[in-house]
Amino acid sequence: MTYEQMLEAVRYEGAYSGTERAAETVERVLAALGRRLTGAERADLAARLPLQAALAFTAQVPSYEKLTGWGFVKDIAARSGTSPATARWDTGAVLSVVARLAGPDLLARILRSLPAGYALLFGQIDLNAGRTGA
């Protein structure tokens, strides 16, 4: 997938009026994901993203602060000055496309490496929701 195709897919998923809004959203969400993902999953995902998207993703220094999926959305909202609802919408539009680019095996590894609550952001069923340890 080219970067332009990615933007068009995000524009469609997010129901944005143009690719300019999609591009801003892609950069914002991938930068946030770049602060959360480390290790082989980070490198493997970067290799599957279009170059411009990979640059936005890898330009961020990973943070070792663990944020749940909801914390991730709130962080995006705070950094972008948008509402949590808008940040959640934007996140879903971008990460659903990222999920397709990653493929099922890499996506499963990514979700295992992140704290709870990210599966739904990637458009996946969260099989661990509501479970307690034991």
Region of 124 (left: φ > 0; alpha: ψ -120 to 50; beta: rest) is beta
Cβ neighbourhood burial of 66 (10 Å; 0-12, 13-18, 19+): exposed
Q: Which structural domain, as residue segments, surrounds residue 118?
A: 3-122
Cα 52 to Cα 5, 63, 106, 124, distances in angstroms: 12, 22, 20, 25
Residue 105 resides in a domain: yes
What digits encode the pLDDT tens for the residues 47-61? 999 999 999 999 989
> Domain tally for the chain?
1
Let me know if residue 128 belongs to a domain.
Answer: no
127 in a domain, yes or no? no
**What Cα–Cα distance (Å) separates residue 32 from each residue in 18, 40, 71, 105, 133?**
22, 17, 11, 22, 28
Residue 31 domain flag: yes
Q: Domain with 29 in it: what CATH number? A: 1.10.490.110
Residue 14 resides in a domain? yes
Would residue 75 count as lying in a domain? Answer: yes
Structure confidence by residue, pLDDT tens digits, 5-51: 999 999 999 999 999 999 999 999 999 999 999 999 999 999 999 99
Decide if 131 is inside a domain: no
Residue 129 is predicted with a pLDDT of 54
